Amino acid sequence: MVDQSRIPYRHPQPKESAPELVIPSVIPEDDRIWVPQAENVWFRPLCLCASRGYWMNLLKVRKSGVLSRHRHPQPVHGYVIKGRWRYLEHDWEAREGGYVYEAPGETHTLVVDEGVEEMITLFQVNGVMLYVDPDGAVMGYEDVFTKIDLCRAHYTKVGLGADYVDQFIR
Ligand code: FE
């Protein structure tokens, strides 16, 4: 009898299925891939899922203090690769190697404390990040489309080309 276990699937993938996305180095060798977001704050796109309205990215911070106050209408998943951070609204700290789930409806204020030279966290963010004042009034927002726009503008500027971001979009 023929051993079937090592035979690849013999049919085409569904034609509606998008191509897979494989990124060998999540922390990029080329620093230009980090997109500046504020002074000493960058993000590194991994999957910009325009078709479903979410994005996967690394957030890198090299400063201490308050980064943003924001509300999540949809869930966020985070994995701390380096450093640590916390929210003013909670008494826990997200530490290197840790995982965090942020529930829909949460409003919180992200802080990196003194003594953290660099923080890098993988975030999967669904829908929208609403930037708010202490009463919850919306001051601005980010979604997968504003992320794509930031990437495109930055990659054009640093010479990678406007199309460089396309590889991350699904
Ligand atoms: Fe958050």
Ligand 1 mean position, distance from CA 100 (Å): 10
State in Å: Cα 94 to ligand 1 middle.
12
Cα–ligand 1 centroid distance for 118 (angstroms): 18
Q: Rounded CA gap, 87 and 110, in Å? A: 5
**CB neighbourhood size of 165 (10 A):** 22
pLDDT for the residue numbered 1: 75
Q: Residue ranges per domain, the chain?
A: 33-168
The alpha carbon of 16 is separated from its chain's Cα centroid by a whole number of angstroms, namely: 25
Q: State the distance from the centre of ligand 1 to the C-alpha of 127, rounded, in angstroms.
A: 12
Each of the 170 residues of the chain gets a pLDDT tens digit; together they read 788 999 999 999 999 999 999 999 999 999 999 999 999 999 999 999 999 999 999 999 999 999 999 999 999 999 999 999 999 999 999 999 999 999 999 999 999 999 999 999 999 999 999 999 999 999 999 999 999 999 999 999 999 999 999 999 99
With 0-12 CB in 10 A as exposed, 13-18 as middle and 19+ as buried, what is 69? buried
Q: 76 CA distance to ligand 1 centroid (A)?
A: 7
State in Å: Cα 102 to ligand 1 middle.
6
Asked if the 33-168 domain carries CATH number 2.40.10.10, the reply is no
Tokens of 130: 């609403």
CA–centroid distance, 96 to ligand 1, in Å, is 17
* Distance of alpha carbon 44 from alpha carbon 59, whole angstroms: 7
Q: Cα of 104 to ligand 1 centre, how many Å?
A: 10
Closest CA to 84 of 98, 69, 102: 98
Residue among 157, 155, 19, 20 nearest 165 (CA): 155
Q: Please, which residues have CB less than 5 A from ligand 1, an ion?
A: 102
Q: In angstroms, what is the span from residue 159 Cα to ligand 1's centroid?
A: 31
Contact yes or no for 126/76 (Cβ under 8 A): yes
One-letter amino acid at 92 equals: W
pLDDT of residue 30: 97
